[in-house]
Amino acid sequence: MKKRTKIKLSGALLAGGAALLCACGQSAPGAEAQQVQERQTDSTQTDGTQNETEEREMPVMERPELTPGWKGTDDTNPLMTQRFGADPYAMVYEDRVYIYMTADAFEYDVEGNIKENSYGSIHKINVISTDDMVNFTDHGAINAASKIGCAKWARNSWAPAAAWKEIDGKPQFFLYFADAGGGIGVLQSDSPTGPFYDPLGHALISRETPNCADVLWLFDPAVLMDDDGRSYLYFGGGVPEGKVADPGTARVVELGADMISIVGEPQPMDVPYLFEDSGIHKAGDKYYYTYCSNWQVDAAGTEQYGFHNAEIVSLESDSPMGPFTFKEVILQNPGSVFGISSNNHHCVFEFRGQWYIAYHTRVLERAMGVEKGYRATHIDAFDMQEDGTIGMIRQTLKGREQLKYVDAYSENRAVNFAVMGGVDTLAADSQSRECGSMALGDIQSGDFVKVAGVDFSDTAPVSFTALVRSQKGHAASGNIFLCIDSPEGEIFGSLQIESLPETDASDYGFVERTAQLSGTVTGVHDLYLIFDGEGYEIETWRFEK
């Protein structure tokens, strides 16, 4: 989503966004967070004296007028606002959550006006990841389908599902996607972010697959990796005429050990009032199939099951292939909460002992003054009870607690942030192209990013270093202002951008620039990088003690 697109702004930003203020001091559960919270968050040393550096004279710094963000600076939902992302699916790997999403993007008519989302031109899958559940790293997009994509036989890539497995001694990553409603493909990679390739050259599930010819929509895959090493694929949807209460279009099949084949034939599942959106998770020794109810739930269905149109429903089983029985309703249609409805698509997952649900809403497009069916991903936390019940999950803009803090003294990627205004992301090197190593770009005066919960420890930094390069065809100039706790917070340093080498089409090199800090910061704070000038791009940043 390009920020310079001419669109009509709504009268207000998302809740909390107009003020562009952020409360200082973040909270996070767990021993690690408690240790950080116990540190001092001001410049007073433990012996009661002041740090000598606090007495340094602070120069007057004029920060530019801030570019409006598309969500409040206290909000963690939507997860990202530099691009849209629908139909989210979560995969946990090496203490990190990767979120794969249908790459919704504005469609335009011949006059340049934004059209209703047709979904017909979508052939990419957006990828972001996090290890703290608040700051998300943008990995770009996987070109999954189309003649220039991985799977050249497929036109579209909708509703991805991801899984990983160790095969022949090394981890392999599998990305399942829907070619519209006509079949399911699979891509494979050595990395969660690619590059991916098409190991089959054709669909994994098609109309020719046994028991699938009468499935209206062969889409919306979900994958279960069971404790015994076996894996299962769930898919399907659509409501045949006259079969509102019992569509009969859900399927489950065991995957082969190679994850790119199936064992036996897909089996029908008894899923009442199914519309779409297969989901699967395991808690204890029970299996939970979750899905979106259809838009034709009648009074009899509501009386029997308690759900309404396009809500997320949970079924329970003792076996991964069922039979499943009705358990409960766990998520209302986001329209009942945020006032703008859409199809309902979700994923339930566990990370670091906490349960979450990822889903999409249309609040981002509404904040932009657009209501054309473009969706963005949210995540909210919930508690799974011992009896397997979840209850109705609360949908919020505030979102989740931060699970760990960002180390100010590590090499941090510039595309890892919680909130942004104006910036875009782009490939940082020739190998990444679209998905992989990304950098901040399209920077103009007033743009910013907020990195939530940065831990400066008990020792104040003395310098700030960033890897920067000039934007192709531009003369780079400006400053990166550093401030804490809000965009109007204290500026404790400024990195001047000047004299960068020119970047040509074959040169992806970044150069290191360092600035001494004029203020003192210790403890845990939200860090704002506020950009002045233009023509430069940023790959990483770090502080030095």
Q: Which residues are catalytic?
A: 87, 276
Alpha-carbon distance of 316 to 302, in angstroms, equals: 19
Helix (H) or strand (E) holding 37, with range, is helix 31-37
CA angle 216, 219, 225 (to 5 degrees): 130
Q: Helix, strand, or coil here: 58?
A: coil
Half-sphere exposure in the Cβ direction for 273 (13 Å, CA):
26
Alpha-carbon distance of 493 to 456, in angstroms, equals: 14
Decide: 542 and 410 in contact? Cβ < 8 Å.
Answer: yes
Q: What is the DSSP letter of 55?
A: G
Q: Among candidates 287, 163, 262, which has minimal Cα distance to 211?
A: 262
Q: Among candidates 516, 439, 418, 469, which has minimal Cα distance to 130?
A: 418
Decide: 272 and 245 in contact? Cβ < 8 Å.
Answer: yes
Q: Among candidates 108, 36, 68, which has minimal Cα distance to 402?
A: 36
Alpha-carbon distance of 303 to 296, in angstroms, equals: 14
| Residue burial 369-400, b: 16+ Cβ < 10 Å; e: rest | ebeebbbbbbbbbbebeeebebeebebbbebb
CA angle 297, 301, 307 (to 5 degrees): 75
Decide: 125 and 102 in contact? Cβ < 8 Å.
Answer: yes
Q: Helix, strand, or coil here: 366?
A: helix
Alpha-carbon distance of 509 to 410, in angstroms, equals: 20
Give the CA radius of gyration of the chain.
Answer: 24
Count of residues for the chain? 545
381 token code pair: 């936390």
519 token code pair: 């203020």
Alpha-carbon distance of 140 to 137, in angstroms, equals: 9
C-alpha distances (whole Å) from 481 to each of 229, 277, 428, 468, 498 are 50, 44, 22, 14, 14
